Amino acid sequence: MRNLTFLAALAALVITSSAQAGLDPKDPTWWDKYQYIQNGGALAVGDATQSIAYGTNVDVSNECGPQSETYITMKDTKVIAGGSNEIFRLPMRAYFSSDAGKSWGGADLPLPPAKGTNGIDFGSDPTLAFDSKGNLFYGYIVVFFGHGNGINGTQMAVARSTDGGRTWPQATFFWFSGGTDHFNDKPMITADRTAGSPFRDRVYIAWDAAAGGSATGGGVLVARSKDSGASFSVARADEPHGPGRAIGAIPFVGPNGELYVAWNDYAANTIAFSSSLDGGATFSPQVVISPKTIPFDAGIPAEFSRRALVYPACDTDRSAGPNRGRLYCSWMDVGDMGTDIFLSTSGDGGATWSAARAVGDRLPFAVDRFNHWLAVDAVTGQVVIAFYDTRNDTTGQRYGTDFYLARSNDGAASFAADIRVSNATSNEHDCNGVFPCVGINYGNQQGDYAGVASYGGVAHPLWVDSRANLDPAPGCSRGIKMEEVFTATVK
């Protein structure tokens, strides 16, 4: 989801239909959900779900209505968990698999009590991580509003599951911001699973708070938990006297307990970085990973309504291999003939970074790549970058999307040929010559990010796919599926 400078500006926006194009580029992904509920849309009931296979792909969500924004994490090669936004329902959705991703179930995340008269709240922006004990943590934001009274505020949330995501008995809600206060947005979570780390099993969640400039207000905030998510302390990672114009903060840990954070500083138009060597209590002055061309987002054809967001996805090599400790960060920017995914690496803890280079197959025609994610296999050290890609579009307009993986086994010195993961192309603009497509939620489309996880030589991407948008889900009283959450197993 995306922040706005002030809640007042957010509340002033009017969107008459989720099916219209030309939305404001800084509308958060939940804004369409807010409009749907505020205008009296019927909310579906969250039932237990069972995934369904489409050949080598698996429809993980297999339920009514649209989902957007996906995240995935692996405990090991067998136990996997994911999450997504729900657009026509209030809670967040969790997905769980104990058979290496062959089959999946679904569960809802808890929400706190609403605030104010006729109040209501809902969740947005999924992010998940396992610790070394097998605890699963799910981070998200909670948006509070009253019918006809606008947004009441936002709050951070971290829920914990001890059974791989089937149940969520513990949820911690913290850092509420209300009224015209700073707006909490787009959290990302990680846990220190490294044996021998002085901060092993510490949980970190980073997010951007909209306008600011104070040490306790806006900017890039990082919360740390020493007690398995029961409580959190918060510090600021970016320039404490800066304007707080950041989005897409991502925390990632090193092999010796180092904590790193990267984000899109769209005011300076850079990918920025900071580090902490004391478990997230204090952070080094921010440095620049790379300058870039696109400040905030891009209106590419495949994301003509939602627009594709610029943010970093980063990880560290924690394997026992020759590149142990190397840092990797990727982001979207202008490429040779479209948008591309760029990568930079650091071998000195983030003090210096390599020149940015584009990853993915070099093609002789224009292609857009967007909504990427990056993971480093903690066992093998393989670098995996997942992204939407328009190379298989048949319209000539770069509308059709597939999901691809780029992989490196030599510390990003070289990449193997891309793997096409999706076995069907999605097109949310041209449905057999018809636009708008029936059943597509244009307020969200694929959302702002997708997911990939890798462990023990196996990668699991998780993305939003609209191939089944007109299919009914089992027991679906509200009709069709719209966008669904898909995955695959890549060895």
pLDDT digits (tens, 9 = 90+) for 47-69: 678 899 999 999 999 888 889 99
- Is the predicted pLDDT of residue 88 greater than 90, yes or no? no
Q: What is the pLDDT of residue 10?
A: 25
* CA atoms of 93 and 316, how far apart (whole Å): 28
Percent of the chain with pLDDT over 70: 87
Percent of the chain with pLDDT over 90: 69
Considering only CA atoms, give the Rg of the chain: 20
Say which residue, 345 or 479, is predicted with more confidence: 345
Going from N- to C-terminal start, the domains of the chain cover 7-487
* CA atoms of 26 and 28, how far apart (whole Å): 6
* CA atoms of 211 and 199, how far apart (whole Å): 31
* CA atoms of 98 and 75, how far apart (whole Å): 10
pLDDT averaged over the chain?
Answer: 88
- Dihedral, 98, 371, 486, 445 alpha carbons, nearest 10: 140
Confidence grade of residue 428 (pLDDT, cut at 50, 70, 90): confident
Q: What is the pLDDT of residue 217?
A: 54
Q: Look at 42-46, 263-267, 310-314, 366-370 and tell me which has the smallest mean pLDDT.
A: 42-46
Q: What is the pLDDT of residue 151?
A: 81
- Please compute the mean of the pLDDT values over residues 369-379 and round it to a whole number: 98
pLDDT single digits (tens) 238-282: 987 666 688 999 999 999 999 999 999 998 999 999 999 999 999
- Is the predicted pLDDT of residue 4 greater than 80, yes or no? no
- Is the predicted pLDDT of residue 135 greater than 80, yes or no? yes
Q: Look at 154-163, 346-355, 441-450 and tell me which has the smallest mean pLDDT.
A: 441-450
- Please compute the mean of the pLDDT values over residues 295-315 and round it to a whole number: 93
Q: Which residue type sits at 469?
A: N
Q: What is the pLDDT of residue 27?
A: 63
- Please compute the mean of the pLDDT values over residues 398-407 and round it to a whole number: 96
- Is the predicted pLDDT of residue 229 greater than 70, yes or no? yes
- Is the predicted pLDDT of residue 6 greater than 50, yes or no? no
Q: What is the pLDDT of residue 21?
A: 33
Instruction: Encode the chain in three state secondary structure.
Output: CCCCCCHHHHHHCCCCCCCCCCCCCCCCCCHHHHHHHHCCCCCCCCCCCECEEECCEEECCCCCCCEEEEEEEECCCCCEEEEEEECCCCCCEEEEECCCCCCCEEEECCCCCCCCCCEEEEEEEEEEEECCCCCEEEEEEEEEEECCCEEEEEEEEEEEECCCCCCCCEEEEEEEEECCCCCEEEEEEEECCCCCCCCCCCEEEEEEECCCCCCCCCEEEEEEECCCCCCCEEEECCCCCCCCCEEEEEEEECCCCCEEEEEEECCCCEEEEEEECCCCCCCCCCEEEEECCCCCEECCHHHCCCCEECCCEEEECCCCCCCCCCEEEEEEEECCCCEEEEEEEECCCCCCCCCCEEECCCCCCCCCEEEEEEEECCCCCCEEEEEEECCCCCCCCCCCEEEEEEEECCCCCCCCCCEECCCCCECCCCECCECCCCCCCCCCCCCCCCEEEEECCEEEEEEEECCCCCCECCCCCCCECCCEEEECCEC
What's the distance, Cα to Cα, between the start and end of the chain in Å?
A: 31
* CA atoms of 288 and 270, how far apart (whole Å): 6
pTM: 0.92
* CA atoms of 388 and 384, how far apart (whole Å): 14
- Is the predicted pLDDT of residue 174 greater than 80, yes or no? yes
Question: Domain 7-487 adopts which CATH fold?
Answer: Neuraminidase (2.120.10)
* CA atoms of 275 and 141, how far apart (whole Å): 24
471 burial via Cβ count (<10 Å: 0-12, 13-18, 19+):
middle
